[in-house]
Amino acid sequence: MGAPKPYDVLFRHGLRRVDPEQAHHLGFAAIRAAGPVLHGVDRLERRWRPDRPVEAMGLTFPNVLGLAAGFDKLGVGYDALGALGFGHVEVGTVTAHAQPGNPKPRLFRLPDDRAVVNRMGFNNDGASAVAQRLERRRSADRGPVLGINIGKSKIVPDDDAPAVLADYETSTRLLAPHADYLVVNVSSPNTPGLRNLQAVDRLAPLLEHVRKVADDARPDRLPLLVKIAPDLADDDVLAVADLATDQGLEGIIATNTTIGRDGLRSAAGEVERAGAGGLSGAPLRARATDVVRMLRDRVGPDLTLIGVGGISTAEDARERLAAGATLIQAYTGFIYGGPRWPRTILRGVGEAAVDGLR
Protein backbone atom coordinates (compact mmCIF):
# COMPACT_ATOMS: atom_id res chain seq x y z
CA MET A 1 0.00 0.00 0.00
CA GLY A 2 1.38 3.41 -1.01
CA ALA A 3 1.71 6.51 1.08
CA PRO A 4 -1.54 8.37 1.84
CA LYS A 5 -2.44 11.05 -0.68
CA PRO A 6 -2.14 14.62 0.64
CA TYR A 7 -5.84 15.31 0.20
CA ASP A 8 -6.74 12.13 2.11
CA VAL A 9 -4.61 13.31 5.03
CA LEU A 10 -6.14 16.81 4.87
CA PHE A 11 -9.65 15.36 4.77
CA ARG A 12 -9.09 12.91 7.63
CA HIS A 13 -7.33 15.32 9.97
CA GLY A 14 -8.79 18.65 8.92
CA LEU A 15 -11.87 18.89 6.74
CA ARG A 16 -13.59 15.98 8.49
CA ARG A 17 -13.63 18.04 11.69
CA VAL A 18 -15.34 21.00 10.01
CA ASP A 19 -19.11 21.17 9.60
CA PRO A 20 -19.77 19.68 6.12
CA GLU A 21 -21.68 22.67 4.78
CA GLN A 22 -19.04 25.09 6.04
CA ALA A 23 -16.32 22.89 4.55
CA HIS A 24 -18.13 23.03 1.24
CA HIS A 25 -18.25 26.82 1.26
CA LEU A 26 -14.57 27.08 2.22
CA GLY A 27 -13.48 24.56 -0.40
CA PHE A 28 -15.56 26.13 -3.15
CA ALA A 29 -14.26 29.60 -2.28
CA ALA A 30 -10.70 28.28 -2.56
CA ILE A 31 -11.45 26.77 -5.99
CA ARG A 32 -12.91 30.05 -7.22
CA ALA A 33 -9.98 32.05 -5.87
CA ALA A 34 -7.54 29.70 -7.61
CA GLY A 35 -9.45 29.94 -10.88
CA PRO A 36 -6.77 31.75 -12.96
CA VAL A 37 -4.07 29.30 -11.83
CA LEU A 38 -6.36 26.32 -12.42
CA HIS A 39 -7.08 27.47 -15.96
CA GLY A 40 -3.36 27.62 -16.71
CA VAL A 41 -2.73 24.16 -15.30
CA ASP A 42 -5.76 22.82 -17.15
CA ARG A 43 -4.46 24.09 -20.50
CA LEU A 44 -1.10 22.40 -19.88
CA GLU A 45 -2.68 19.12 -18.86
CA ARG A 46 -5.00 19.07 -21.87
CA ARG A 47 -2.00 19.65 -24.15
CA TRP A 48 -0.04 16.88 -22.47
CA ARG A 49 -2.93 14.43 -22.18
CA PRO A 50 -5.78 15.65 -24.39
CA ASP A 51 -9.33 14.82 -23.43
CA ARG A 52 -11.55 12.66 -25.61
CA PRO A 53 -14.54 14.80 -26.62
CA VAL A 54 -18.05 13.35 -26.58
CA GLU A 55 -20.72 14.39 -29.08
CA ALA A 56 -24.16 14.28 -27.47
CA MET A 57 -27.43 16.22 -27.77
CA GLY A 58 -25.94 18.35 -30.54
CA LEU A 59 -23.21 19.53 -28.15
CA THR A 60 -19.50 18.78 -27.92
CA PHE A 61 -18.51 17.85 -24.38
CA PRO A 62 -14.75 18.22 -23.76
CA ASN A 63 -14.74 14.88 -21.96
CA VAL A 64 -17.09 12.34 -20.47
CA LEU A 65 -17.06 13.57 -16.84
CA GLY A 66 -19.32 16.25 -15.38
CA LEU A 67 -20.09 17.68 -11.96
CA ALA A 68 -23.63 16.96 -10.83
CA ALA A 69 -26.08 19.59 -9.67
CA GLY A 70 -25.80 20.58 -6.02
CA PHE A 71 -22.20 21.75 -5.84
CA ASP A 72 -22.55 25.10 -7.63
CA LYS A 73 -26.15 25.90 -6.76
CA LEU A 74 -25.87 29.58 -7.63
CA GLY A 75 -23.78 29.66 -10.79
CA VAL A 76 -20.83 31.38 -9.11
CA GLY A 77 -17.90 29.12 -10.05
CA TYR A 78 -18.69 26.66 -12.82
CA ASP A 79 -15.76 27.96 -14.93
CA ALA A 80 -13.22 27.24 -12.16
CA LEU A 81 -14.76 23.79 -11.68
CA GLY A 82 -14.30 23.17 -15.38
CA ALA A 83 -10.63 24.01 -14.99
CA LEU A 84 -10.32 21.12 -12.52
CA GLY A 85 -11.15 18.81 -15.41
CA PHE A 86 -14.93 18.58 -15.48
CA GLY A 87 -16.17 18.69 -19.07
CA HIS A 88 -19.59 19.88 -18.00
CA VAL A 89 -20.99 21.44 -14.85
CA GLU A 90 -24.65 21.38 -13.88
CA VAL A 91 -25.71 24.47 -11.94
CA GLY A 92 -28.62 24.28 -9.50
CA THR A 93 -31.03 23.14 -8.48
CA VAL A 94 -32.59 26.57 -9.15
CA THR A 95 -36.19 27.40 -8.30
CA ALA A 96 -38.40 30.24 -9.50
CA HIS A 97 -38.52 31.75 -6.01
CA ALA A 98 -35.47 32.40 -3.86
CA GLN A 99 -35.57 30.16 -0.80
CA PRO A 100 -33.30 29.46 2.17
CA GLY A 101 -33.69 25.70 2.14
CA ASN A 102 -34.19 23.49 5.14
CA PRO A 103 -32.95 24.29 8.67
CA LYS A 104 -29.31 23.58 9.49
CA PRO A 105 -27.57 21.25 10.03
CA ARG A 106 -28.62 19.66 6.74
CA LEU A 107 -25.48 18.06 5.33
CA PHE A 108 -23.78 15.03 6.90
CA ARG A 109 -20.85 12.78 6.04
CA LEU A 110 -20.77 9.01 6.42
CA PRO A 111 -17.02 8.46 5.80
CA ASP A 112 -17.07 4.71 6.37
CA ASP A 113 -19.41 4.47 3.39
CA ARG A 114 -17.84 7.32 1.39
CA ALA A 115 -21.35 8.73 1.41
CA VAL A 116 -23.17 11.97 2.18
CA VAL A 117 -26.68 12.61 3.47
CA ASN A 118 -28.21 15.93 2.51
CA ARG A 119 -31.55 17.58 3.11
CA MET A 120 -30.59 20.98 1.72
CA GLY A 121 -34.03 21.71 0.29
CA PHE A 122 -33.10 23.60 -2.90
CA ASN A 123 -31.50 26.56 -1.12
CA ASN A 124 -30.80 29.10 -3.87
CA ASP A 125 -31.11 32.75 -4.90
CA GLY A 126 -34.01 32.20 -7.30
CA ALA A 127 -34.12 32.02 -11.08
CA SER A 128 -33.96 35.75 -11.73
CA ALA A 129 -30.80 36.30 -9.67
CA VAL A 130 -29.05 33.23 -11.11
CA ALA A 131 -29.98 34.26 -14.66
CA GLN A 132 -28.50 37.72 -14.15
CA ARG A 133 -25.33 36.20 -12.70
CA LEU A 134 -24.92 33.80 -15.61
CA GLU A 135 -25.50 36.57 -18.12
CA ARG A 136 -22.63 38.52 -16.56
CA ARG A 137 -20.26 35.56 -16.24
CA ARG A 138 -20.58 33.81 -19.58
CA SER A 139 -18.05 35.09 -22.11
CA ALA A 140 -16.44 34.08 -25.39
CA ASP A 141 -14.32 31.59 -23.44
CA ARG A 142 -17.35 29.67 -22.19
CA GLY A 143 -15.53 27.04 -20.14
CA PRO A 144 -17.29 23.72 -19.61
CA VAL A 145 -20.64 22.79 -21.09
CA LEU A 146 -23.19 24.39 -18.76
CA GLY A 147 -26.29 22.53 -17.65
CA ILE A 148 -28.96 24.20 -15.55
CA ASN A 149 -31.10 22.10 -13.24
CA ILE A 150 -34.52 23.50 -12.29
CA GLY A 151 -36.91 22.36 -9.57
CA LYS A 152 -40.17 23.23 -7.87
CA SER A 153 -40.31 26.07 -5.34
CA LYS A 154 -41.24 24.83 -1.90
CA ILE A 155 -44.12 27.31 -1.55
CA VAL A 156 -45.89 25.79 -4.58
CA PRO A 157 -48.14 22.83 -3.63
CA ASP A 158 -47.38 19.77 -5.74
CA ASP A 159 -51.12 19.03 -6.10
CA ASP A 160 -51.82 22.44 -7.71
CA ALA A 161 -51.01 21.52 -11.32
CA PRO A 162 -51.39 25.02 -12.83
CA ALA A 163 -49.18 26.49 -10.11
CA VAL A 164 -46.51 23.83 -10.68
CA LEU A 165 -46.49 24.53 -14.42
CA ALA A 166 -46.26 28.28 -13.80
CA ASP A 167 -43.40 27.77 -11.35
CA TYR A 168 -41.30 25.72 -13.78
CA GLU A 169 -42.29 28.12 -16.56
CA THR A 170 -40.72 31.05 -14.72
CA SER A 171 -37.44 29.21 -14.20
CA THR A 172 -37.36 27.99 -17.79
CA ARG A 173 -38.08 31.39 -19.31
CA LEU A 174 -35.36 33.08 -17.25
CA LEU A 175 -32.67 30.40 -17.42
CA ALA A 176 -33.07 28.71 -20.80
CA PRO A 177 -31.22 31.52 -22.64
CA HIS A 178 -28.09 30.84 -20.56
CA ALA A 179 -28.02 27.02 -20.62
CA ASP A 180 -26.35 24.55 -22.95
CA TYR A 181 -28.88 22.01 -21.68
CA LEU A 182 -31.77 22.14 -19.20
CA VAL A 183 -32.75 19.52 -16.62
CA VAL A 184 -36.18 19.16 -15.03
CA ASN A 185 -35.58 17.86 -11.52
CA VAL A 186 -38.54 15.95 -10.10
CA SER A 187 -36.53 13.54 -7.99
CA SER A 188 -35.04 15.28 -4.95
CA PRO A 189 -36.39 13.83 -1.70
CA ASN A 190 -35.96 17.14 0.12
CA THR A 191 -38.85 19.20 -1.30
CA PRO A 192 -42.23 17.93 -0.06
CA GLY A 193 -44.28 16.35 -2.83
CA LEU A 194 -41.64 16.82 -5.54
CA ARG A 195 -41.21 13.12 -6.27
CA ASN A 196 -44.94 12.82 -6.90
CA LEU A 197 -44.23 14.64 -10.17
CA GLN A 198 -42.30 11.60 -11.44
CA ALA A 199 -45.58 9.79 -12.10
CA VAL A 200 -45.98 9.78 -15.86
CA ASP A 201 -49.44 11.36 -15.79
CA ARG A 202 -47.95 14.33 -13.88
CA LEU A 203 -44.59 14.36 -15.63
CA ALA A 204 -45.85 14.36 -19.23
CA PRO A 205 -47.68 17.72 -19.14
CA LEU A 206 -44.84 19.28 -17.13
CA LEU A 207 -42.21 18.29 -19.69
CA GLU A 208 -44.44 19.37 -22.58
CA HIS A 209 -44.87 22.78 -20.97
CA VAL A 210 -41.17 23.24 -20.23
CA ARG A 211 -40.36 22.26 -23.81
CA LYS A 212 -42.75 24.87 -25.19
CA VAL A 213 -41.45 27.63 -22.92
CA ALA A 214 -37.84 26.78 -23.73
CA ASP A 215 -38.62 26.88 -27.45
CA ASP A 216 -40.17 30.32 -27.02
CA ALA A 217 -37.22 31.57 -24.96
CA ARG A 218 -34.51 31.03 -27.58
CA PRO A 219 -34.21 30.56 -31.34
CA ASP A 220 -32.46 27.18 -31.29
CA ARG A 221 -33.58 23.91 -29.72
CA LEU A 222 -32.32 23.61 -26.16
CA PRO A 223 -31.60 20.01 -25.10
CA LEU A 224 -34.08 18.98 -22.38
CA LEU A 225 -33.53 16.19 -19.89
CA VAL A 226 -35.33 14.81 -16.85
CA LYS A 227 -33.61 13.60 -13.68
CA ILE A 228 -35.10 10.57 -11.92
CA ALA A 229 -34.71 8.90 -8.55
CA PRO A 230 -33.12 5.51 -7.92
CA ASP A 231 -36.07 4.63 -5.70
CA LEU A 232 -38.50 4.35 -8.61
CA ALA A 233 -39.79 0.84 -9.22
CA ASP A 234 -38.43 -0.76 -12.37
CA ASP A 235 -41.77 -0.43 -14.16
CA ASP A 236 -41.81 3.29 -13.38
CA VAL A 237 -38.27 3.69 -14.70
CA LEU A 238 -39.37 2.07 -17.95
CA ALA A 239 -42.45 4.30 -18.08
CA VAL A 240 -40.22 7.40 -17.87
CA ALA A 241 -38.01 5.93 -20.59
CA ASP A 242 -41.04 5.51 -22.86
CA LEU A 243 -42.20 9.04 -22.06
CA ALA A 244 -38.78 10.48 -22.89
CA THR A 245 -38.84 8.68 -26.23
CA ASP A 246 -42.41 9.67 -27.04
CA GLN A 247 -41.77 13.35 -26.24
CA GLY A 248 -38.44 13.53 -28.00
CA LEU A 249 -36.45 14.48 -24.92
CA GLU A 250 -32.72 14.69 -25.49
CA GLY A 251 -31.84 12.69 -22.40
CA ILE A 252 -32.38 11.25 -18.93
CA ILE A 253 -30.16 11.72 -15.88
CA ALA A 254 -30.03 8.63 -13.69
CA THR A 255 -29.99 8.90 -10.76
CA ASN A 256 -30.62 11.37 -7.96
CA THR A 257 -30.03 10.54 -4.29
CA THR A 258 -31.82 7.72 -2.48
CA ILE A 259 -33.94 7.68 0.65
CA GLY A 260 -32.81 4.08 1.30
CA ARG A 261 -30.29 3.20 4.00
CA ASP A 262 -29.79 -0.52 3.39
CA GLY A 263 -26.36 -2.11 3.58
CA LEU A 264 -24.46 0.80 5.12
CA ARG A 265 -21.20 0.17 6.97
CA SER A 266 -21.56 3.22 9.20
CA ALA A 267 -22.68 2.66 12.78
CA ALA A 268 -26.45 2.75 13.23
CA GLY A 269 -26.17 5.70 15.61
CA GLU A 270 -24.20 7.71 13.06
CA VAL A 271 -26.80 7.02 10.38
CA GLU A 272 -29.57 7.97 12.78
CA ARG A 273 -27.86 11.25 13.65
CA ALA A 274 -27.66 12.11 9.97
CA GLY A 275 -31.42 11.66 9.80
CA ALA A 276 -33.68 12.08 6.79
CA GLY A 277 -32.57 13.24 3.37
CA GLY A 278 -30.99 11.96 0.21
CA LEU A 279 -28.07 9.56 0.45
CA SER A 280 -25.36 9.91 -2.20
CA GLY A 281 -22.03 8.23 -2.74
CA ALA A 282 -20.69 4.71 -3.00
CA PRO A 283 -23.78 2.88 -1.61
CA LEU A 284 -25.77 4.15 -4.59
CA ARG A 285 -23.46 2.64 -7.21
CA ALA A 286 -25.18 -0.69 -7.85
CA ARG A 287 -28.72 0.66 -8.19
CA ALA A 288 -27.69 3.65 -10.28
CA THR A 289 -25.81 1.34 -12.64
CA ASP A 290 -28.80 -0.98 -12.91
CA VAL A 291 -31.11 1.94 -13.75
CA VAL A 292 -28.78 3.13 -16.52
CA ARG A 293 -28.59 -0.38 -17.96
CA MET A 294 -32.37 -0.72 -17.81
CA LEU A 295 -32.87 2.63 -19.51
CA ARG A 296 -30.39 1.88 -22.29
CA ASP A 297 -32.04 -1.44 -23.03
CA ARG A 298 -35.37 0.38 -23.29
CA VAL A 299 -34.51 3.53 -25.25
CA GLY A 300 -31.96 2.13 -27.68
CA PRO A 301 -28.62 3.63 -28.64
CA ASP A 302 -29.49 7.23 -29.48
CA LEU A 303 -30.96 8.89 -26.37
CA THR A 304 -28.35 10.55 -24.14
CA LEU A 305 -28.10 8.96 -20.71
CA ILE A 306 -26.09 10.72 -18.01
CA GLY A 307 -25.08 8.26 -15.32
CA VAL A 308 -24.63 9.64 -11.82
CA GLY A 309 -24.61 8.10 -8.36
CA GLY A 310 -21.82 6.25 -6.57
CA ILE A 311 -18.99 6.94 -9.01
CA SER A 312 -15.89 7.00 -6.83
CA THR A 313 -13.20 5.34 -8.93
CA ALA A 314 -12.18 5.02 -12.56
CA GLU A 315 -13.50 1.47 -12.43
CA ASP A 316 -16.91 2.80 -11.34
CA ALA A 317 -16.82 5.26 -14.24
CA ARG A 318 -15.96 2.54 -16.74
CA GLU A 319 -18.73 0.33 -15.35
CA ARG A 320 -21.32 3.09 -15.78
CA LEU A 321 -20.23 3.76 -19.34
CA ALA A 322 -20.31 0.05 -20.13
CA ALA A 323 -23.87 -0.07 -18.73
CA GLY A 324 -24.92 2.43 -21.37
CA ALA A 325 -24.21 5.93 -20.05
CA THR A 326 -23.24 8.48 -22.69
CA LEU A 327 -21.78 10.80 -20.07
CA ILE A 328 -21.19 10.51 -16.34
CA GLN A 329 -21.45 12.91 -13.42
CA ALA A 330 -20.20 12.87 -9.85
CA TYR A 331 -20.54 14.83 -6.66
CA THR A 332 -19.73 12.79 -3.56
CA GLY A 333 -16.74 11.10 -5.20
CA PHE A 334 -15.30 14.57 -5.79
CA ILE A 335 -15.92 15.57 -2.16
CA TYR A 336 -13.96 12.58 -0.88
CA GLY A 337 -11.41 12.59 -3.70
CA GLY A 338 -10.33 16.22 -3.75
CA PRO A 339 -9.27 18.62 -6.53
CA ARG A 340 -7.12 16.10 -8.43
CA TRP A 341 -9.96 13.56 -8.50
CA PRO A 342 -11.54 14.60 -11.85
CA ARG A 343 -8.26 14.21 -13.72
CA THR A 344 -7.57 10.89 -11.97
CA ILE A 345 -10.94 9.56 -13.15
CA LEU A 346 -10.44 10.83 -16.70
CA ARG A 347 -6.94 9.37 -16.84
CA GLY A 348 -8.28 5.98 -15.73
CA VAL A 349 -11.12 6.06 -18.24
CA GLY A 350 -8.79 7.18 -21.04
CA GLU A 351 -6.16 4.57 -20.32
CA ALA A 352 -8.82 1.86 -20.34
CA ALA A 353 -10.03 3.10 -23.73
CA VAL A 354 -6.49 2.94 -25.11
CA ASP A 355 -5.96 -0.55 -23.69
CA GLY A 356 -9.16 -1.65 -25.39
CA LEU A 357 -7.72 -0.66 -28.78
CA ARG A 358 -4.51 -2.65 -28.35
266 catalytic, yes or no? Answer: no
The contacts of residue 164 (CB under 8 Å, 6+ apart) are 152, 156, 157, 158, 197, 206
Does the annotation place 119 within a ligand binding site? yes
For the chain, how far is it from start to end, CA to CA, in angstroms? 29
Does the annotation place 1 within a ligand binding site? no
Does the annotation place 310 within a ligand binding site? yes
Does the annotation place 73 within a ligand binding site? yes
Catalytic residue among 171, 188, 266, 312: 188
Does the annotation place 2 within a ligand binding site? no
Dihedral angle sign, alpha carbons of residues 309, 311, 317, 319: negative
Does the annotation place 277 within a ligand binding site? no
Task: Give the Cα separation of 294 and 239 in Å (integer).
Answer: 11
Does the annotation place 118 within a ligand binding site? yes
Does the annotation place 152 within a ligand binding site? no
Does the annotation place 332 within a ligand binding site? yes
Does the annotation place 69 within a ligand binding site? yes
Please provide the DSSP assignment of 277-342 as one string: SEEEEGGGHHHHHHHHHHHHHHH-SSSEEEEESS--SHHHHHHHHHHT-SEEEESHHHHHH-TTHH
Backbone angles phi, psi at 353, to 5 degrees: -65, -40
Binding residues for substrate: 73, 118-122, 185, 190, 256-257
Binding residues: 69-73, 93, 118-122, 149, 185, 190, 227, 255-257, 281, 310, 331-332
Report, as residue numbers or ranges, the catalytic residues.
188
